[in-house]
Structure 1
Amino acid sequence: MTERRAYPSDLKDDQWELIEPLLLEWRAARAEGREPTTDLREVVNAILYVARTGIAWRYLPHDLPPHTTVYGYFQAWEKDGTAEEIHDTLREQLRKKKGRRILPTAAVIDAQSVKAPPNAPDATQGWDGGKKVKGRKRHIATDTLGLLLVLIITAAGVQDTNGGRLVVDELAVKLPTVTKAWVDAGYKAKMIAHASNLGIDVEVVSRGAEQKGFVVQKVRWRVEQTFGIMSRYRRLHRDYEALPTRSRSMIHWAMVNSMSHRLWHRQAGNGTTARQGSCDNGLAWY
């Protein structure tokens, strides 16, 4: 790798060691006898640079690989599922590191509306009357550590209840071990009944009538924490991707960066173990 000054978004050596085997396996399956010339670590560094700074691809610094090359890999890893596979692998490693079962048994479900780019197809965006946002909606499920389990991108006009049905459908297929979920009061009986038919008991966590302003909600704070992690990446402040599938991939790479940092941080013994909030209420076994 050509020597250059490191950017704050660059992967540390230990972070790269977590990701490298999966990308080398991906490359080996497609080598076809050709000698590779692109440094995959630098490609990932460039993707993370875009994610953290929010710049357009063509504005990548010249000491990183050409933007056409980087976007080509980003697109390929989205289409063949490599980005999601890396994400899910690191999630399993982090759950194991935290002393949890590899396959979670509980989830926290929520949604977030964000503005869409001007070049987004009309069919992929809509109007969220509650949040007063025209764009797309991110429907997610996390485990009780705040790690992403399911991510679905829809037009912002899709109601949380309908999006929640899509989320539990995917949970039932992808992670049938999940039998418990928590949601806010925006999810109605239709979604709860649908989840019950799939073997998932959904509990609504509502704000108390006496609560004013921001109040940490039992268990549900984990999904808010995940949205908070996303907000550290300027590319995710709004949905800048033309296609929803690209949006999913950018979020997966942001979470890969976050999880690899947490794994590296714990392996290297840097700092103390993350503080357990009082709202966990003994959920460490989920």
Structure 2
Amino acid sequence: MIDAVRYLVDNGIKWRAMPADFPPWPRAYAFFARWRDTGLAAELHDRLRDAVRRAEGRSPEPSAGVVDSQSVKADATVTHSSRGFDAGKKINGRRRHLLTDTLGLVLDVLVTPASTTDRDAARLLLPAGKERFRRLARIWADGGYTGHLTDWAAQHLGLVVDIVRRSDDARGFEVLPRRWVVERTFAWFLRSRRLVRDYERRPETGEAVIWWSMTMLMSRRLAARQRPAPLRAA
């Protein structure tokens, strides 16, 4: 069942197009939905994230993070009530709001209509992250989070929100301190074809697909560490 879900996320197929060597697609989807609704997909992801952080010599619980969002086009299956228009990027679809640690590993995710602003989503994302990770004390963000959010986070959550601004003189692409970490995580998502667009009817399903995508990435990373080194010729 796990291999079937990973195949769907990695290759972006329809549930009904599940290859014959996997269980029938209704059973695979029922497994996926049950793990989504009970939080087991997120729990599996969190355990792997803790293992990756330990392997990197870090504490399982982070003390700093990075927050950002990504707008993606929505497929025709996405209902009108759960999609919106991002006027800045001219995208009609949904927006993925991410809170990551300084390694780019996902701490929390929220999928909203693309019309939802970064500051409004952060008022939901940051309290949830602080509740799960008590050591979390500092968050880096871009200019979209400027304003009342910084004061609100400090007063109600005890979080320091540092805004990493782009230089006014910069032209073209520029790697910005800390912000590049979460941008790389968004790039990791595009390796999973199911995340190139938003194909899910429910936002919670989109969040579950992100958990599964990161689960694949981290399990491969951990497996590579356990793989024995090749023998060298004398």
Could you tell me the TM-score, scaled by structure 2's length?
A: 0.94
**Counterparts of 2:109 and 2:152 in 1: how far apart (Å)?**
18
Specify the alignment match of 2:219 in structure 1: 260
1:193 lines up with 2:140 in the alignment: no
**Paired residue for 2:28, among 70, 79, 84?**
70
Specify the alignment match of 1:218 in structure 2: 177
What is the aligned-residue identity percentage? 39
Q: Please give the secondary structure, in 2, of the residue aligned with 1:213.
A: coil
Q: Please give the secondary structure, in 1, of the residue aligned with 2:144.
A: coil
Q: Give the letter for the 2:208 counterpart.
A: S
1:108 lines up with 2:98 in the alignment: no
Which runs of 5 or more structure 2 residues have no equivalent in the other structure?
Answer: none
1:136 lines up with 2:89 in the alignment: no
1:178 lines up with 2:128 in the alignment: no
**How far off is 1:244 after superposition?**
0.7
Matches within 5 A, 1:202-241: 202-241=161-200
Specify the alignment match of 2:210 in structure 1: 251
Asked if 1 retains the 8 angstrom alpha-carbon contact of 2:79 and 2:201, the reply is: yes
> CA 1:180–1:270 in 2, change beyond 3 Å: closer, same or farther?
farther
1:242 lines up with 2:211 in the alignment: no
Q: Please give the secondary structure, in 2, of the residue aligned with 1:186.
A: helix
1:120 lines up with 2:72 in the alignment: no
**Counterparts of 1:58 and 1:67 in 2: how far apart (Å)?**
6
CA deviations on 1:150-169 (whole Å, 9 max, x unpaired) are: 10111110011111222111
**How far off is 1:119 after superposition?**
2.5
Deviant stretches of 4+, over 4 Å:
none
Residue-pair matches, total = 229
**How far off is 1:269 after superposition?**
4.9
Asked if 2 retains the 8 angstrom alpha-carbon contact of 1:51 and 1:254, the reply is: yes
Q: Please give the secondary structure, in 1, of the residue aligned with 2:136.
A: coil
Q: Give the letter for the 1:154 counterpart.
A: T
**Counterparts of 1:195 and 1:266 in 2: how far apart (Å)?**
38
**Counterparts of 1:93 and 1:195 in 2: how far apart (Å)?**
29
Asked if 2 retains the 8 angstrom alpha-carbon contact of 1:117 and 1:242, the reply is: no
**How far off is 1:270 after superposition?**
5.8
Asked if 2 retains the 8 angstrom alpha-carbon contact of 1:48 and 1:253, the reply is: yes
Specify the alignment match of 2:37 in structure 1: 79
**Counterparts of 2:228 and 2:124 in 1: how far apart (Å)?**
39
Specify the alignment match of 2:125 in structure 1: 167
> CA 1:45–1:204 in 2, change beyond 3 Å: closer, same or farther?
same
Q: Give the letter for the 1:168 counterpart.
A: L
**Counterparts of 2:79 and 2:182 in 1: how far apart (Å)?**
28
Higher mean Cα deviation, 202-211 or 94-103?
Answer: 202-211
Q: Give the letter for the 1:214 counterpart.
A: F
Asked if 1 retains the 8 angstrom alpha-carbon contact of 2:146 and 2:163, the reply is: no
Specify the alignment match of 1:7 in structure 2: none
Q: Give the letter for the 1:246 counterpart.
A: T
**How far off is 1:204 after superposition?**
0.7
Matches within 5 A, 1:28-67: 43-67=1-25
> CA 1:255–1:270 in 2, change beyond 3 Å: closer, same or farther?
farther
**How far off is 1:267 after superposition?**
2.1
Q: Give the letter for the 1:162 counterpart.
A: D
**Counterparts of 1:126 and 1:149 in 2: how far apart (Å)?**
25
Which runs of 5 or more structure 1 residues have no equivalent in the other structure?
Answer: 1-42, 272-286
**Counterparts of 2:77 and 2:169 in 1: how far apart (Å)?**
44
Specify the alignment match of 1:25 in structure 2: none
* RMSD, aligned α-carbons: 1.3
Q: Give the letter for the 1:67 counterpart.
A: W
**Counterparts of 1:199 and 1:81 in 2: how far apart (Å)?**
27
**How far off is 1:122 after superposition?**
2.1
